[in-house]
Structure 1
C-alpha cells in the first residue's frame, strides 16, 4: 500500500506561520499536520505502508525533505519526494508523482485531519472519504444510489443532492488506472478553473463502470487559517486525552504554575508563574513566564511573558511580551 500526499502549496491563508514552514509541517498537538494525517490513514488501512510519496514545492528546502522522509520511515515506509513547480491543480499534482502511481494507494491532501473508525471496502475499485455536513452547498458532495455506491460528484450544489462532503482523501485499488485517466486529462488539456482536476479522472473511471463507494469519517478538521488551526489543535488534544496518550513531557520545569488539561507540553519547556490550558500546545524549548494561556498553539523555542492569551498562535523562536490576547505572530518575530 502507498500513500500519495500532494502538498506543494505553502498555505497563504495561514501566513505568517507558513512563510518559513510549509503548512503541512505546522505542528498540531506537538506533531506536524502531515505526520498526523498519514498516521491516521495507516490506522484505517490496517496494513503495511510500503511508500509515502510527498509532492512538494521545489523551494521547500532540504530540511523539509529530510523531515518528510523521517515521517515515512517512522511508519516503516519508504519516503519519496516529488516536485510540483506550478500550481496547476489536484490532477497535475498527483501526476507529478506518476512514477509511484502503481498498485493500491491512498491519495490525501495535507491540509486536513480526520477521525474515523470504518473498514475500508477493498473490493471496490475506489473509496472516496466523506463527512456528513450541515451545509452541503459549501462543499463538493457525493451522490449515492440505493446500493450506497457513488454515482455522481457535485460541486457546491445549489439544491440538495447529498450531505456527504468530499474531504480530500481517496483510496484506489489500482491507482495506475487513475494515472491513465489523468494522463488523458493532461494530454487533452482538460482544464477547469485554470487547473487540472482529479474529478475528471474519477469521472472517466466511473464512466467505464468502475465501482466507487463512500468511506464515512466521524470528524473532519481543517487547518486552513489561524482560527481553525487553533480549533483543530484543541480538538486533537481532547481526542488524544480520551485515548490516554501522555501529552506532557517528563522533563517539564515548572515553578508556581498550573496546567489545566488537555495540554501538550514538549521537551525542555519552562513554566514560571504560569497558568496553561485548557487546549494549549507548547513546543520544545519554549519558556512561559507570568502568563495565562488557553486555547492556543505555541511552537518551538518561543518566549511568552506578561501575557494573557486566548485563541493565539505563536511561531518558532518568537518572543512575545504584552497584554494582547488574540494574536498570531510568525517565526522569529519579536513583540515586546
Structure 2
C-alpha cells in the first residue's frame, strides 16, 4: 500500500500561521496535521504502508522535507518528496507524484482530518470517502444509486444533486489506471475553472468501468481557518484523552490543569489555569494566565493573559489581557500594565 498526500497549497486562509510553515505542519494535540492524517489512514488500512509521497511547493524548504520524511517513518514507511510549483489543481498535484501511481494507492489531501471505525476493503475498484453536509454547494459531491454505487461527480453544485461531500480521501485498487487518466487530462488540457480537477479523472474512470463506492466517516474535521483548527484540536484532545502524555519535564508552580490538555516538553507553567482543550508546545512558558480551548506552539511566552479560542505560533511573546487571538510565529505583543 502507498499513500500520496498533496499539500503544496500556501494556506492563505490560515495566515499569519502559514507565513513560516505550511498549514499541514500546524500542530493538532501535539502533532502536525499531516502526521495525524497519515497515522489515521494507516490505522484503517491495517497493513504495512511501503511509501508515503508528499507533494509540496519547492519553497517549503529542506527542513519541511526532513520533517515529512520523519512522519513517514513513524508508520514504518519510506517518505518521498515531489514538487508542485504551480497551483494547477487537485489532479495536477497528484500527477506530480505519478511515479507512485501503481498498485494499491490511497490519496489524501492534507487539509482535512477524519475519525472513522472501519477496515479498508482492498477488493473494491475504488473508494471515495464522503460526509453528509447541510450545504453541498461549497463542495464536490457524489451521486449514488440504490446499490450504493457512485454514478456521478459534481463540483460545487448550484442546484441540489446530493449532500454527500467528497472529503478528499480516495482509495484506488489500480493506481496505474488513475495515472493514465491524469495523463489524459494534462495532455489534452482538460480543465475546470482553469485547473485540472481530480473529479474529471474519476468520471473518466467510471465511464470505463471502474466501480467506485462511497466510504463513510464518523466525523470530518476541517483545518481551513483558525476557528476550525482550534475546534479540531478540541475534538482530537477528546479522542485521545486516555493516551495524552503529560511529560514529567513540565514545571508546574501554583497552577491547575483542567483536562483534556496536551503539554509538550520543558513547559513551565506558573500561577495559571490551563484547560480544557488546550495544546501547549515544547519549551513554552506560561505565567499568571488563564487559557481555554486554544493552541499555543513552541518556544512561546505567555504572561498575564486570558486566552480562549486562540492560536499562538512559535516564538511568540504575549503579555496582554484579552480572550481571542490568532498570532503568527516570531511576534511580540506586550501591554504596558501600568498605563
Structure 2-normalised TM-score? 0.97
Q: Distance in 2 between matches of 1:330 and 1:217?
A: 32
1:193-224 Cα deviation digits (max 9, x unpaired): 11111111101100001100011000101111
Distance 1:246 1:133 in 2: 31
Distance in 1, matches of 2:159 and 2:218, equals 24
- 2:221 aligned partner: 221
The residue aligned with 2:48 is 48
Once the two structures are superposed, residues 39-64 of structure 1 have per-residue CA deviations (whole angstroms, 9 ceiling, x without a partner) of 00010111110000000001111100
User: In structure 1, what is the equivalent of residue 190 of structure 2?
Assistant: 190
Counterpart in the other structure of 1:262: 260
Aligned to 2:337: none
The Cα offsets for residues 262-319 of structure 1, whole Å up to 9 and x where unpaired, read as: 1100010000000000100000000100000001000001100000000110000110
Q: Deviations over 1:225-271 (max 9, x none)?
A: 11111111111111111xx2023222211001001111100010000
RMSD: 1.0
User: Secondary structure in 1 aligned to 2:259?
Assistant: coil
**Aligned ranges for residues 282-297 of structure 1 at < 5 Å?**
282-297=280-295
Is contact 1:49–1:75 with CA below 8 Å preserved after alignment? yes
Q: In structure 2, what is the equivalent of residue 231 of structure 1?
A: 231
In structure 1, the partner of 2:60 is 60
In structure 2, what is the Cα distance between the partners aligned to 1:250 and 1:144?
52
Q: How many residue pairs align between the two structures?
A: 334
Contact 1:120/1:215 (8 A) holds in 2: no
For 1:170 and 1:247, the matched residues in 2 are separated by: 32
Instruction: Give the drift of 1:120.
Output: 2.1
Give the C-alpha shift of residue 155 in structure 1. 2.3
Instruction: Output the CA distance in 1 between the equivalents of 2:261 and 2:81.
Output: 33
1:318 to 316, 319, 323: 316
Per the alignment, residue 24 of structure 1 pairs with 24
Structure 1 stretches of 4+ with a deviation exceeding 3 A read none
Quote the Cα distance in structure 1 between the aligned partners of 2:129 and 2:111: 15
How many Å apart are 1:99 and its aligned residue? 1.1
The answer to whether 1:78 aligns with 2:103 is no
Aligned positions of 1:1-336 closer than 5 A: 1-241=1-241, 244-336=242-334
* Residue range with higher mean Cα deviation, 200-209 or 246-255: 246-255
Secondary structure of residue in 1 paired with 2:168: strand
Q: Offset at 1:147?
A: 1.0
Provide the rounded CA distance (Å) in 2 between the counterparts of 1:137 and 1:317.
39
Match of 1:152, SS state, is strand
Shift of 1:164: 1.4
- Output one character per residue of 1:80-113: Cα deviation in whole Å (capped at 9) or x when no partner: 0000110000111101111111110100000111
The CA distance in 2 between the partners of 1:156 and 1:333, in whole Å, is: 38
The C-alpha deviation readout for 1:141-191, integer Å capped at 9, x for no partner, is 111111111111122334433221110000000111111001000000011
1:19 deviates by: 0.4
Q: Give the structure-1-normalised TM-score.
A: 0.98
- Equivalent position SS for 2:166: strand
Secondary structure of the structure 1 residue equivalent to 2:235:
helix
| Deviation for aligned residue 1:119 | 2.8
